[in-house]
């Protein structure tokens, strides 16, 4: 509790500042963008339909199994339930107002630099044009694909992001609190960050030229920051870290990891929103970085502990997938190897040494892998996007500037997300409470929250 | 009657059962247990969290025999289950006052033969 | 037994009537349809290849896991075996004569109304032109995709339908009886209903204008009706309902549910047989309805029992997927929400209260979810296809008529399927017997039917 | 050991001969091929992106689960770890030099017959042009798809092949030895065979006209031969065959089998490298042959042992998938049925009777299914490719010749792979040793090699 | 005090528990065990490898009762667990010297009532 | 020798083991069991089918000790395992006639020390 209050104070100023600029921005003048007339491409559509299925597959059953295997057997269903219900809930929220808040580009205008006031509110969050998907006609297109597909594809990102955070507070948070947290977090954190990064000209990150091809900031740093705050706020699991808490079923975790890997092709190569060279190269570099991170983590364990473990290997893989995410549209194979290796080693350090040193209980390493891996990836994107390093986006001379921009992207996301997550969690704690009773925690969440048992 | 309880290494189960069958033991009951003793456990490591597993998988056999079979049964178990390595396990002997075969209701020595 | 005989008598007349009109119809005159010259579209083909893989994925491993987790551990392999062998068996039957019975349009002619006699036999079942897939040349097209792909896509529907029925008679039916039942049911129920719904002009349901985009009648009501009859005929499991029969491994069930959800994109969006706006909107509404049903069931449980369960959430999801199936080509996002919510609540009622009240042992709720959910979906398709309700097919004024047509579709399917299923099961019972011995049931089907054990 | 030494002696001559011709071939003159100007097709690209994901899905988690369920619970993680790490390792090797060794066509020229010397080294193995994927530009195409996609697609084949071999030496080989073996085997066996079969004009098998659409020789016979040698060299598991070694979790195996089946659509239909009629027909025949093999194995068991098992059914399915692989581009539905039935029966015989008779311990039947099934498929490809038997490639009159060619393909692969695998394993055995200590084998590989446990 | 150990068929557990409850037994402890006895095991077959499963799933009940309850309890178990088929199981009776209820520290008969 | 059998709540296992180690107990055997007693079970609900789980997860410890250790061991267990809530479990004491260490064949008190 002391820690969390401390956290609150520390960032209170920044939060206040943010709030002010958001309100201030409301008074700026919106403007309209013009579109060319695109036509539907069946190949692009085919790939995006598939990519959408793949990203959904990442959450159910991919991430669910990955996380589910890591907890105690008495809590396995609670994790599966949280992932499954979040999937359903985010789908409805996205349908009702999320897509609009994220992708309504009404009133956006390109603005140089950090000029908050000029940009207007809609540089930070979308309008309400698409409430209830009004206006998403069957024949509407986004680029060369039906807008319905784009809506669903983006929806799957809005699903997995809050689901990732589950890893931080697993095994002790009330189910009702999870749902309320996810709803508020989606509304006040995910939707605006998504808008700032991906909605196009006039959006903060977009205008600044921050590179985030497939969601390094929107998904991973965002989820990672919320995860860190959440595990601090919810507190440690009973007995942590004295009592060992080994994964109850690693075969489940490895299965989930395989599914995440496969599904991530939809995530990264799907972010090309086309079946083209960008998608192809995104798939290739995703594969390479993941492999490199897997081997890096394995090697780190082998060196440090004398034996490599499959939990290490799969965690490394996820770290690699996370790190290549922002980079996957702008780096080449060699950049991918470096990003993968870096992510493997650094996340290994974060999830083992750092976590133990600082003592927070990020139960399934949502911060250690997604937060840290996302940061590593975002920064190195700024390096390996350079054409002389095999990338496709920037000049060698601009590496320094781009790395700075990447850092800004990470920092703004981290701070904004951290502050708002803190407020949300605090509010929940003060009202219905975040945490189950000690007795319920001992008995397990499956029986006490859901009246069922994973295995008979 | 006597109850012989033997705690052995799991991979010895088959051999012990053979040995007992060959001296005419008609029935026994087996339970998977975890044993804590002199045998050192192994280390497991999950994302840097070390976890010394001190409870090792063992198998417990329970065999109820007539008093005169006791020595023979204990010897057979000790012989078949021994590897000479630490952790081979123990045999405990205690008294049983009565036995009943559920199917027939017979009791006493006849219930276990 | 009394119940089943009763059932037999009750519907004997209808069955007789059906038999007569089918024979009568044989004398009518066939006619030929003309086709335009289509060309192959690689995008459409790419999507349909994928969709086919997705629908197969629904059965193996999706449905297998979903069902497998719900039974007692001593019967888990029997369920997996039934799903797997049905997959193989239906593949061969479809290849040998199923595709021909379903999609040979020889002798079909558009007929108004229910005019059975005029329509001819081929309004009810296809001919034998494609026996052994003769005539399905490598270069043949169906629309813009290779006919080989269409054959395989439709095959996966023919696979999953009998596999769904397994849920009704699980844990007690002889393996040989399952195979014989599936073979006969496929031949005499699935193939004709599939033909009536999807083979085009001249087919009964098609001509009537019954809307069934992706198989509400063909797959779900069909399977549901057979499931109800089957569980009545096979009888209750030993000890039902006094002895509790909790799922032996809910993690397996939740995993399977995730796979079903993901695979269902192939089912519904694949039913557009193209990578276009219809596919896109089908995917979107599928996602929305499923989410709505998940939350509806969860809410129902929360309200009624005080706690939501993950088994409830995933069952709700399947109910939503079932209900949106017939509607997925003709409703918009808001219709999808209503359909989902309705399916969630009504199937909750059917699988819990209704089943208990009536006392039949539909072991895994094949009827409660697929029959009831299919019915709800079919009826509401008639409502939300209306353009003023966000749909894409009918006028507001025609809702009443369409709902009636939808009802006719459900009723004919239900009655025809119910009667023929009854006959098939009766025949099997009188010959080799439907049910394993009591001793075998106690020992479990895995060991007694297959000489193997799920877990060591 | 006697067996293995014997094996060594027996094939030493052949190995020597091979070595000589490879060296001799180095002096021949390279030549350049000309390419037409292709353009990117989004539909083909969409399908190949998907197919790549599907083939990766075959290994993680498909094959991993299939194999993992079959071993003792104390070794389950070791199998998952081997598959996962091989995935990562092969990805990097493929990126660094594998793609180049396999698909650099520098210096290749079409040569008739077996003329080794004229062909030059590059008829057997590729050059180093693509080291580190240099030259695989973002915009480079292979046919109508980005080369990046082709690289990744082929990579997934290079991943699964060594992973298949794991089945032979499971439960007793050192983890370090597995990695070294996989690396060397990939380099000296996989890459050259892949090159000889698929790199185009000038490559041995290609020039000879050996038909191998999707990897019967490259993947299955290759893996099968290595598996046989490996299980002989590593020796039997402690207690085999006296002690029963039943699968510890068949639900896992059946799940993996379903995933393999679904993923195999990517493998076979993906080998068309387009979303066209070839892909469509490949999918259809894959489905049919697999179903036929499933039922054949099931029937064989039913007849021979009185009861069919799900392990039999799924093993039959894999046998069918293996056998149809080389044939899937050239046979029609009826050929597929025959190939499936033959594979089902013959692999049943190989994995049960033959293995027992000869006494080798191919733990998970990698040879019995992939080696034998691959051989059956390769030979029958030579038969059913004939147009009068429903195939699409050869004349009836050429069946004899084609079967001979197919045999040559199998034999060369088998011998070359067998010899080189033997040398590699021998070297490893003489240096770090192939096998874990007896004590470690008793305790299990999970704890002794990886310091973790599958289930708590 | 007496300890009654009963090895029964798993599907009889519910019935036996009911029978015991109805005669006032307040507590018991259940263990999943494998039994080897006269009852023939079944065959399992994995890719041609036959495997005779001789250890069959059984359930072991342990009930500590005061001396005077012994006969009644044994009878109730035998009655409820019997199917008349081989493999129905056994009941064993032995002496318990002391019992302590952990919660309260009470010992003797009061600890189990 | 005496056999001490303790049925405790699973999450107390670690603490009890520590307590026993600290008073010099060298070995023990642990079994996962289900207990039925005064402690109320929980409800589980599957698609409307209510299922009261009366058998709760417990852990059984078996420790064979020399006669003079008995009191100390029982006390240590009771102290470490107690939470004061219903369901904390029981300790039972009975006589063991002989013990043999399989590895060495030693018997009597020396086999367990
Ligand atoms: N005093 C005891 N009471 C009950 N079980 C014991 C006792 N001592 C040992 N055991 C059991 O015997 C097993 C083997 O004992 P251990 O001390 O490791 O080796 P050894 O029997 O070779 O001396 C232990 O794992 C435990 O299950
Ligand atoms: N001598 C024995 N000691 C311990 N357990 C026994 C003994 N004999 C039988 N059992 C247990 O009782 C079970 C039933 O015994 P079995 O001989 O199969 O049938 P029955 O009790 O009907 O004669 C066995 O599976 C085993 O668990
Ligand atoms: N008579 C008995 N015989 C054997 N085990 C018993 C007996 N009574 C209780 N137990 C075991 O002790 C556990 C705790 O008993 P319970 O009556 O629930 O609480 P408490 O010990 O606090 O009175 C039970 O779950 C059961 O395993």
Q: Render pLDDT for D118-155 as a digit per residue (tens, 0 to 9).
A: 888 999 999 999 999 998 999 999 999 999 999 999 99
Determine the residue of F35, F53, F56 to mutate for testing ligand 3's pocket, defined as the one with the most ligand atoms within 8 A of the Cβ atom.
F35
DSSP string, A88-114: HHHHHHIIIIIHHHHH--TT-----TT
- Is the pLDDT confidence value at A12 over 70? no
Q: How many residues does chain E have?
A: 113
- Is the pLDDT confidence value at C32 over 60? no
Residue A256 in contact with residue A64, Cβ under 8 Å?
Answer: yes
ipTM of the complex: 0.94
Residue C75 in contact with residue C91, Cβ under 8 Å?
Answer: no
- Is the pLDDT confidence value at A6 over 70? no
pLDDT of residue A13: 52
What pLDDT, in 10s, does the model give residues C402-436? 999 999 999 999 999 999 999 999 999 999 999 99
Residue B86 Cβ inside 6 Å of ligand 1? The answer reads yes
Name the closest-CA residue to atom 21, ligand 1. B89
SS3 C385: coil
- On whether any CB of chain F is under 8 Å from the CB of E28, the answer is yes
Output C286 or D3, whichever has higher pLDDT: C286
A15-24, A291-300, C360-369: range with lowest mean pLDDT: A15-24
pLDDT of residue D36: 55
Q: How many residues does chain F have?
A: 113
Determine the residue of F58, F88, F89, F94 to mutate for testing ligand 3's pocket, defined as the one with the most ligand atoms within 8 A of the Cβ atom.
F89
Mean pLDDT of D154-167: 98
Mean pLDDT of F66-78: 96
F105: exposed, middle or buried (C-beta count within 10 Å: 0-12, 13-18, 19+)?
middle
Residue carrying the six token digits 């106690």: C442
Nearest by Cα to C310 from C250, C395, C242? C250
- CB pair distance less than 8 Å for C138 and D332: yes
Chains linked to E by 3 or more Cβ pairs within 8 Å: B, C, D, F
A142-151, B35-44, C125-134, D16-25: range with lowest mean pLDDT: D16-25
**Spatial separation of the C-alpha atoms in residues B32 and C240, rounded to whole Å:** 31
**Spatial separation of the C-alpha atoms in residues A278 and A330, rounded to whole Å:** 9
Residue carrying the six token digits 């006040």: A188
In chain E, which stretches have pLDDT less than 70?
none
Dihedral, D156, D158, D159, D165 alpha carbons, nearest 10:
140
Name the closest-CA residue to atom 25, ligand 3. F35
Residue carrying the six token digits 């697609």: D153
pLDDT of residue A196: 95
- On whether any CB of chain F is under 8 Å from the CB of E24, the answer is no
For F13, which residue in chain B has the nearest alpha carbon? B55
**Spatial separation of the C-alpha atoms in residues C210 and B20, rounded to whole Å:** 72
A305: exposed, middle or buried (C-beta count within 10 Å: 0-12, 13-18, 19+)?
middle
pLDDT of residue D7: 40
A31-40, B91-100, C139-148, D53-62: range with lowest mean pLDDT: A31-40
Q: Cβ atoms within 10 A of the Cβ of D150, count?
A: 22
Can you read off the two tokens belonging to residue A70? 């890591």
Residue A450 in contact with residue F44, Cβ under 8 Å?
Answer: no
Q: What angle do CA D185, D190, D195 make, to 5 degrees?
A: 150
pLDDT of residue E64: 97
Contact residues, E window 29-88, toward B, CB-based 8 Å cutoff: 31-38, 54-55, 58, 60, 74, 77-78, 81-88
- CB pair distance less than 8 Å for A57 and C305: no
A191: exposed, middle or buried (C-beta count within 10 Å: 0-12, 13-18, 19+)?
buried
Residue A204 in contact with residue A196, Cβ under 8 Å?
Answer: yes
A119-128, C82-91, C363-372, D180-189: range with lowest mean pLDDT: A119-128
B109-113, C20-24, C195-199, D317-321: range with lowest mean pLDDT: C20-24
CA distances from C250 to C330, C451, D43, E60 (A): 34, 24, 39, 26
pLDDT of residue D116: 73
Q: Helices marked H in C209-249 — which ranges?
A: 222-234
Would you identify the CATH topology of the domain C42-450?
Ammonium transporter fold (1.10.3430)
Q: Which residues contact D387 (CB under 8 A, 6 or more apart)?
A: D393, D394, D395, D396
Strands B42-46 and B49-53: antiparallel
B65 CA to centre of ligand 2 in angstroms:
11
Sign of the torsion angle spanned by Cα atoms E16, E18, E22, E25? positive
DSSP D236: P
pLDDT of residue C391: 96
Res. D115 pLDDT band, cuts 50 70 90 = confident
Q: How far is D439 from chain B (nearest CA, A)?
A: 11
Residue B39 in contact with residue B56, Cβ under 8 Å?
Answer: yes
Strands E2-8 and E56-65: antiparallel
pLDDT of residue B48: 86
Q: Which residues contact E33 (CB under 8 A, 6 or more apart)?
A: B29, B30, B31, E7, E57, E58, E59, E60
DSSP string, A235-267: -PPTTTTTS----SBHHHHHHHHHHHHHHHHHH
A327-336, C378-387, D6-15, D110-119: range with lowest mean pLDDT: D6-15
- Is the pLDDT confidence value at D93 over 90? yes
Residue D153 in contact with residue A286, Cβ under 8 Å?
Answer: no
Query: Could you say which of E31, E81, E93 has the minimum Cβ distance to residue B31?
Result: E31
- CB pair distance less than 8 Å for E98 and F95: no
Can you read off the two tokens belonging to residue A419? 């502050």
**What b/e string do you get for A198-226 counting C-beta neighbours within 10 Å, with b at 16 or more?**
bbeebbbbbbbebbbbbbbbbbbbbbbbb
pLDDT of residue D109: 84
CA distances from B75 to B19, B20, B80 (A): 10, 10, 9
- Is the pLDDT confidence value at D257 over 50? yes
Determine the residue of E27, E63, E76, E112 to mutate for testing ligand 3's pocket, defined as the one with the most ligand atoms within 8 A of the Cβ atom.
E27
- Is the pLDDT confidence value at C15 over 80? no
pLDDT of residue D1: 33
**Spatial separation of the C-alpha atoms in residues D407 and D171, rounded to whole Å:** 33
**CA atoms in the 13 A half-sphere facing the CB of D31:** 14
Q: Which residues pair with B101 in a beta bridge?
A: E90
Residue A339 in contact with residue D137, Cβ under 8 Å?
Answer: no
**Spatial separation of the C-alpha atoms in residues C270 and C283, rounded to whole Å:** 9
**Spatial separation of the C-alpha atoms in residues E104 and F38, rounded to whole Å:** 14
pLDDT of residue C119: 85
Residue E9 Cβ inside 6 Å of ligand 2? The answer reads no
Q: Which residues contact C37 (CB under 8 A, 6 or more apart)?
A: none
**Spatial separation of the C-alpha atoms in residues D190 and D158, rounded to whole Å:** 7
Residue D278 in contact with residue D322, Cβ under 8 Å?
Answer: no
Query: Could you say which of B97, B101, B103 has the minimum Cβ distance to residue E95?
Result: B97
Query: Could you say which of A246, A247, A356 has the minimum Cβ distance to residue B48?
Result: A356
Q: Where are the beta strands (DSSP E) in chain F?
A: 2-8, 28-36, 42-46, 49-53, 56-65, 90-95, 98-101
Can you read off the two tokens belonging to residue C35? 């086709």
Contacts with E54 from chain B: Cβ below 8 Å:
17
Average pLDDT score, chain B: 95
**What residues does each domain of chain E span?**
2-112
Residue carrying the six token digits 């109304």: C113
Residue A181 in contact with residue A428, Cβ under 8 Å?
Answer: yes
- CB pair distance less than 8 Å for B81 and F96: no
pLDDT of residue C9: 46
- On whether any CB of chain E is under 8 Å from the CB of B112, the answer is yes
H or E element, residue F80: helix F70-81
Mean pLDDT of C59-78: 98
How far, rounded to the nearest angstrom, does the alpha carbon of residue C185 sit from its chain's CA centroid?
Answer: 12
What pLDDT, in 10s, does the model give residues C232-245? 999 999 999 988 89
Average pLDDT score, chain C: 92
Q: Of the ligands numbered here, which is closest to the C-alpha atom of B28?
A: 2
Can you read off the two tokens belonging to residue A65? 């199994």
Name the closest-CA residue to atom 5, ligand 1. F28
pLDDT of residue C36: 55
Residue B109 Cβ inside 6 Å of ligand 1? The answer reads no
Residue carrying the six token digits 């701070």: A415
- CB pair distance less than 8 Å for D295 and C452: no
SS3 D191: helix
B17 CA to centre of ligand 2 in angstroms:
14
Can you read off the two tokens belonging to residue D203? 């490559």
Residue carrying the six token digits 């194995």: D297
Q: Of the ligands numbered here, which is closest to the C-alpha atom of B102?
A: 2
pLDDT of residue D38: 81
Query: What architecture (CATH level 2) is domain B2-112?
Result: 2-Layer Sandwich (3.30)
Res. D184 pLDDT band, cuts 50 70 90 = very high
Residue carrying the six token digits 């493929």: D94
pLDDT of residue C7: 40
Determine the residue of F90, F91, F93 to mutate for testing ligand 3's pocket, defined as the one with the most ligand atoms within 8 A of the Cβ atom.
F90
**What b/e string do you get for A81-97 counting C-beta neighbours within 10 Å, with b at 16 or more?**
bbbbbbbbbbbbbbbbb
Backbone angles phi, psi at A142, to 5 degrees: -120, 110
- Is the pLDDT confidence value at B37 over 60? yes
Report how many Cβ contacts below 8 Å link chain D to chain E.
Answer: 28
- CB pair distance less than 8 Å for D450 and A276: no
pLDDT of residue C109: 84
Chains linked to F by 3 or more Cβ pairs within 8 Å: A, B, C, E
Q: Which residues contact D120 (CB under 8 A, 6 or more apart)?
A: D25, D26, D27, D28, D29, D30, D107, D108, D109, D202
Dihedral, C262, C267, C273, C279 alpha carbons, nearest 10:
-50
Q: Helices marked H in D350-398 — which ranges?
A: 355-358, 366, 372-384
Sign of the torsion angle spanned by Cα atoms B74, B79, B83, B85? positive
- CB pair distance less than 8 Å for E90 and B3: no
Nearest by Cα to C317 from C369, C359, C268, C275? C369
Residue D334 in contact with residue D195, Cβ under 8 Å?
Answer: no
F5 CA to centre of ligand 3 in angstroms:
12
- Is the pLDDT confidence value at A29 over 60? no
């Amino acid at each position: 509790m002391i820690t969390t209050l401390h956290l609150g104070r520390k960032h209170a100023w920044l939060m206040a500042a943010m709030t002010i600029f958001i309100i201030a921005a409301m008074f700026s003048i919106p403007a309209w963008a013009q579109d060319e007339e695109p036509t539907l491409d069946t190949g692009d559509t085919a790939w995006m339909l598939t990519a959408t299925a793949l990203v959904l597959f990442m959450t159910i059953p991919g991430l669910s199994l990955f996380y589910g295997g890591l907890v105690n057997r008495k809590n396995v269903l609670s994790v599966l339930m949280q992932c499954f219900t979040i999937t359903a809930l985010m789908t409805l929220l996205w349908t009702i107002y999320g897509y609009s808040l994220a992708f309504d580009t009404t009133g956006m205008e390109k603005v140089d630099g950090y000029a908050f006031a000029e940009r207007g509110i809609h540089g930070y969050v979308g309008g309400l044009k698409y409430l209830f998907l009004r206006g998403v006609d069957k024949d509407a297109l986004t680029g060369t694909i039906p807008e319905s597909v784009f809506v669903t594809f983006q929806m799957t990102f809005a699903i997995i992001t809050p689901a990732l955070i589950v890893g931080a507070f697993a095994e002790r948070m009330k189910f009702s609190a999870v749902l309320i947290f996810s709803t508020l977090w989606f509304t006040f954190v995910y939707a605006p960050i998504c808008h700032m990064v991906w909605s196009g000209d006039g959006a903060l990150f977009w205008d600044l030229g921050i590179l985030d091809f497939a969601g390094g900031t929107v998904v991973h740093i965002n989820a990672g920051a919320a995860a860190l705050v959440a595990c601090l706020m919810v507190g440690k699991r009973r007995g942590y870290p004295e009592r060992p808490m080994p994964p109850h079923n690693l075969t489940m975790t490895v299965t989930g990891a395989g599914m995440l890997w496969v599904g991530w092709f939809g995530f990264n190569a799907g972010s090309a929103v086309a079946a083209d060279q960008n998608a192809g190269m995104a798939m290739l570099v995703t594969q390479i970085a993941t492999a490199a991170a897997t081997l890096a983590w394995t090697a780190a364990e082998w060196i440090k502990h004398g034996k490599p473990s499959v939990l290490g290997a799969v965690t490394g893989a996820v770290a690699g997938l996370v790190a290549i995410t922002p980079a996957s549209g702008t780096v080449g194979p060699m950049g991918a190897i470096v990003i993968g290796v870096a992510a493997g080693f650094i996340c290994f350090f974060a999830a083992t040494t750092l976590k133990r040193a600082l003592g927070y209980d990020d139960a399934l390493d949502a911060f250690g892998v997604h937060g840290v891996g996302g940061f590593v990836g975002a920064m190195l994107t700024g390096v390996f996007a350079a054409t002389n390093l095999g990338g496709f986006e920037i000049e060698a001379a601009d590496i320094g500037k781009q790395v700075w921009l990447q850092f800004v992207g990470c920092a703004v996301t981290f701070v904004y997300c951290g502050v708002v997550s803190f407020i949300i969690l605090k509010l929940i704690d003060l009202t219905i409470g975040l945490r189950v009773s000690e007795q319920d925690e001992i008995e397990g969440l499956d029986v006490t929250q859901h009246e069922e048992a994973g295995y008979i | 009657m006597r109850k012989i309880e033997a705690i052995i290494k799991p991979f010895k189960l088959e051999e012990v059962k053979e040995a007992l069958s060959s001296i005419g033991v008609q029935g026994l009951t087996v339970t998977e247990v975890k044993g804590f003793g002199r045998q050192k456990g192994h280390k497991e490591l999950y994302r840097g969290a070390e976890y010394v597993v001190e409870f090792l998988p063992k198998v417990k056999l329970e065999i109820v025999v007539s008093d005169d079979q006791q020595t023979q049964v204990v010897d057979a178990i000790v012989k078949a289950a021994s590897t000479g390595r630490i952790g081979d396990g123990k045999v405990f002997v205690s008294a049983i006052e009565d036995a009943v075969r559920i199917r027939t209701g017979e009791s006493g020595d006849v219930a276990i033969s």
